[in-house]
Structures are given as C-alpha cells and as structure tokens.
Structure 1
Amino acid sequence: MDLLLVPYWADRELDVIQWPPFLLASKIPIAVDMAKDSNGKDRELKKRISADNYMSFAVSECYKSFRNIIMFLVRGDREKEVIEYIFLEVDKHIEAGDIANEYKLSALPGLYDLFIKLIKFLLENKQEDRDQVVILFQDMLEVVTRDIMMEDHISSLVDSIHGNSGHEGMIPLDQQYQLFASAEPSNFQLLNQKLGKRSILTPYYTEEVLFSLHDLEVPNEDGVSILFYLQKIFPDEWTNFLERVKCNNEEELRGSDELEEQMRLWASYRGQTLTKTVRGMMYYRKALELQAFLDMAKDEGD
C-alpha cells in the first residue's frame, strides 16, 4: 500500500523521499559507471546525474541506505567513531561539490560489488555466513580507505581518530582496525525486515516492444498477416482508429511516418503482450503521480 502514497517514507530514518523501485531500476549501476568515468570533473558528474530526476533520487536513497545499514551493523564505540568519521568526510565533500576531485571514484564499482554481496548475505540471514560478512566488511573498509580515499586520507583519518601528530610506531591498518568483527548476526533479522520487498518487471528475452511494419505485413504459413488478422478480430476498433486519424483506408496510413507509427501502436496494443505491459506500467506511473499530487493538495488544504 505504500506505493499508493508516493512519495512515501518506508524508512523514516533515511530522511529522504522514496519512489517505487520500478522508477529507480537500473539507475544505480549507471550512476556508478558515470562516477567511475568522471575523472575528477564534479560539475559534469553532477550535471549528468541531475539530468535524470529518478537517478538523483536513487543515488541519494542508496547512499543513505548504505550508511544506515553500516551504522546499524557496526558495534563498539571506537569502531563507530571511525565509520562516522569516514561518512562525515564524504558528506563534507558532497556538500562542497568536490567529491570526484578529492576521491578516486574509479574504484567505486569495487565498493558497489561488495555492497551487493552484503545485501545478499543479509537477505539470506544465515548464521554460518557471519565470518563471510566480517571479511566482507573489512574488504569494504580497505576499498574505501586505500582505493577511494587514498593514502593521504588514511593518514588524516588515523591522526584525527587517535590524536597522533606523526606516524611513528603506527600499527598496520590490517591489524589496527578490525572494525566489523563485532557485527552481530542477531541484527540481520531486524535489518532484513527493514529492507522490505522489491518487485522486478522482466520483459521477455529479445522480444520487440512494438511490431515493425515488416512484422505486420509478412504473411504466415496460412497467408494471413498480423495486421489483417487484427483488423478482422477488432473490426470496430479498426474503423474507429481510421476515423480518429482521419483516413479512409490502410493505404492512406502509409503516406506518413507519423500515421504508420500510430498504426504500429494500434496493432501492438492488441497483439503484443509486452507492449500492453509497458503501456500499463506507464499508466500506473501517471496514476501514482496523480495520487501524489492529490495527497499533497489535500495536505495543503488541511
């Protein structure tokens, strides 16, 4: 029912408007690729992501969800202090608009892959996966501090946490920060519940969304074309279609690219399952937008 109240907050702790997953599908992998290829150009990266509103929403929700999940699982004051410091540094550069210039975002796909593995472990919620989760957390820390934040950022991180003025006698990072060893599997069940359910719409493999003119005209083994068959199955609708586009017969439709496309749409809506599915999705989107508008108008009226 939450999807009928778009925009909505499934998790109030995120402090971000959440949109239905089908509107945000595939946005994060694309954004990760954009960041990887940004080459330190913050303005260009921000412009490309902001050009797609749903991509911008997806990036914001993903980052805040990532932060909440990590902070939820990590235990221990020292561990939390280090993680909070890392997120504060990232937030500072996001606010300043120089994150691509300061950090090596070409390593971001590695962190993304590790986070996907973490989510799978959390969803499966198996006690025997605890050691794998701990190792996964440590790998994520290494990617962030060594590959993304780079060496000078690691030094400043260590100095700020421990108050050291130099690096003499510093314990190697692998031994010094066993940050996630205290992540408790008992927390996985609660987190699994907070993640909620996700639905995915999967088109048929290699199936065309719209019939092409060739598809409509080619006769089958019985000598009957798709268009001819649909005209006989839906005679009234075909007549109404011709009247709507102000044509007297099929031949007049072929004098214009726009009319030919209208004919392809007419046939696809009646004979192509995937087209009807996509059309229904788009109607559903309009319905959600209308619902959101009415809800916000109602709130303003109150």
Structure 2
Amino acid sequence: MAMTSKEGDDHELIEKIKLDKDRYNAVIECYESLKIILVCLLLDYNDKRIVDDIDKIVRNSMQNNTLLEDFKMAEIGKVSNTLVKLLQLLKSEPTDDTTERKIVNALQDFMEIATRDFMKDGHGILKDENERKQSFTNLNMDVIKDAFWREQFVRLHLLLTMKDSAMDVPTNLDARRRITFFANSLFMKMPRAPQVHDMISFSVLTPYYNEEVLYSSHELNRKNEDGISILFYLQKIYPDEWKNFLERIGVDPDNEEEVKGCMDDILIWASYRGQTLARTVRGMMYYRRALEVQCYEDMKSE
C-alpha cells in the first residue's frame, strides 16, 4: 500500500491503514516493538543515539505529513526483508560466535539499508564506511538469549511475515458459512451459563425408523445400475473436503491400497455427508463435549 502511494498523499495513506483497525494497530506495534528491541539490544551509546535520531525523523515526518517525501517507499520491501532476516537469527538462540557474527552483520545491513536506501536524507547518519563497520557490533547477548525477548522477536517476525491473501479464504462455501457464523457468535450478548452442577439434567430423543446410522463398507462401495458407488458420488460432490480429509489422516490419494486401509475413517466421513441420522447423532454428542469443557472451566474458577 505504501509502495504505491505518491508524495503528498500521507493523509490518504494513513486513512487507508486506519480503515482496518487490526492493520493499524499492527503497524504501530511493529514500529514501537522494533525501536524497543534495538534500544535494548545495543550497548554502545552512539548506536542508541543513531536509533533515536532515526526515530525523531520518523515522528517529525508523521507529524508534518511528509512521510512519503522523506522516505523512499519503493524501498520498504527491502527494509522489511532485511529486518525479517535479522529477526530470524534473533529468535533462534545463538550457539556460537559465528551465529553472533551473523546477527551483527544482519543488523548492520538493516541499518545501512534503512538509512541509505529508505531515508532520502539519511546518508549523514552513518557517515563513512569505517563508521558503518564499527557501528552496531556491541550487542547485549543476554537480551538475545532471554526467553522473554525471544518471544518478542517471534511476535515481530510473525507480524512482518503474515500476509493477507485471498488464497487463505476457504473455497468451500459451507466452511465459510460456519466460520462466519462462529466469528459473529463471539460478539453476541449472551447471559452467563450456570455451573454444570446447577443445571437440570436433560435427555435428547431422536426418533428414526429402519435407517442406518453409518454406512457399511459394502453399501459405500456398491455400484448402482449406472456403475456409480456412494463413495464415488460423495467424492465428486465434496472434492475439497475429500482432499482435506485424506490430508488430515495422512493418506496419499493416489495410493488406492493405503486409502482402502483407512476404511473405518472413510465410513465416518461418508456417513456425516450422506446420512442425516449420523449428523444428528454427532450433533447430540457435541452436548457432552460442551458440558465437559464448561465443567472444566467451572473447576478452574473455583
């Protein structure tokens, strides 16, 4: 978004970012987290001064709405990539001097790209080649080895590498419907449920007549007059669900013998899609799981 913005469109860019509250908060968190990490990581006073100088320039640009004028947004991808490489090294605990040297090199690369390529007037911050080589070499290794800080490295790395993509949206319409329904239910105003031991017991009765709950292997593979079996039919009308199912149970779809060896799981999968009674029974059994979870929560709160 920033890469395609033109000079003078600072206000428009910020408003676009603010349209998505989570995205706006993520941008703020990334910047503030990065500054805190750098300040705590660096031991040398001059190195910390450089970070403070950059921070002042960024904040002044934000205040004056000149961010797109003071920074080359076309280079923001390069800045992000070098920062990701640095965080990748930081979040894995260094084991030897070689790893520490790699961290120093990655940090120097990041600072050089940030000041020389990303900032339009940042050349004066790192004045010469000799100063660049001497800067950012004195690091607080206790911070790098500390579990708390590694969690911060992991979180910042996740924020920078997590991409929103239409490819992540389920292709299955029913899956979308269920996820949407669940997400919306999180914001429902519901009265607090009583504790399980205060609830009145209840039973669920489902009348049925001459109907199988689960398919048998014979029924599932028996072909009709057109040469089509129930399993083949279900595979064709639920192709994505069949593919996901085989992936969940770790079966190669091209290996027929391996697929046949998981017939018990396949019977359940097919029955949930072809037998109404099977789905009804599964729904009833969810009551038990829900009560078990609530009972566990009740015990935790006591």
Give me the TM-score of the superposition, normalised by structure 1. Answer: 0.52
The reply on whether 1:71 has 2:39 as its aligned counterpart is: yes
User: For 1:282 and 1:105, how far apart are their aligned partners in 2?
Assistant: 37
Residue 242 (structure 1) aligns with: none
* C-alpha contact (below 8 Å) 1:125/1:185 kept by paired residues: no
Q: Give the SS at the match of 1:192.
A: helix
Instruction: Write out per-residue CA displacement over residues 127-171 of structure 1, whole angstroms, 9 at most, x where no aligned residue.
Output: 332111111111111111111113x4323x46xxxxxxxxxxxxx
Residue identity matched to 1:185: M
User: For 1:93 and 1:204, how far apart are their aligned partners in 2?
Assistant: 35
Residue 280 (structure 1) aligns with: 182
User: Residue 68 of structure 1: CA displacement?
Assistant: 0.9
Residue 153 (structure 1) aligns with: 122
User: Residue 42 of structure 1: CA displacement?
Assistant: 1.2
User: Residue 98 of structure 1: CA displacement?
Assistant: 1.1
* Structure 2: segments with no counterpart, 5+ residues: 192-302
Residue 53 (structure 1) aligns with: 21
User: Residue 59 of structure 1: CA displacement?
Assistant: 0.9
The reply on whether 1:183 has 2:139 as its aligned counterpart is: yes
Residue identity matched to 2:84: I
Select the residue among 105, 111, 115 that pairs with 1:141: 111
Residue identity matched to 1:182: N
The reply on whether 1:192 has 2:150 as its aligned counterpart is: yes
Q: Give the SS at the match of 2:138.
A: coil
Question: Structure 1: which 4+ aligned runs deviate by more than 6 Å?
Answer: 196-206
Residue identity matched to 1:140: F
Residue 4 (structure 1) aligns with: none
Higher relative contact order (CA 8 A, sep 6+): 1
Alignment CA distance shift 1:187-1:101 (3 Å) = same
User: For 2:37 and 2:87, how far apart are their aligned partners in 1?
Assistant: 9
Residue identity matched to 1:147: D
Q: How many residues align?
A: 179
Residues 199-214 of structure 1: pairs in structure 2 closer than 5 A: 207-210=170-173
Residue 82 (structure 2) aligns with: 114
User: For 1:86 and 1:48, how far apart are their aligned partners in 2?
Assistant: 24
* C-alpha contact (below 8 Å) 1:73/1:187 kept by paired residues: yes
* Structure 1: segments with no counterpart, 5+ residues: 1-33, 159-171, 211-267, 291-302
Alignment CA distance shift 1:130-1:42 (3 Å) = same
Residue 30 (structure 1) aligns with: none
Bigger CA radius of gyration: 2
Q: Give the SS at the match of 1:36.
A: coil
Residues 93-132 of structure 1: pairs in structure 2 closer than 5 A: 93-128=61-96, 129-132=99-102
Alignment CA distance shift 1:279-1:123 (3 Å) = farther
Give me the TM-score of the superposition, normalised by structure 2. Answer: 0.52
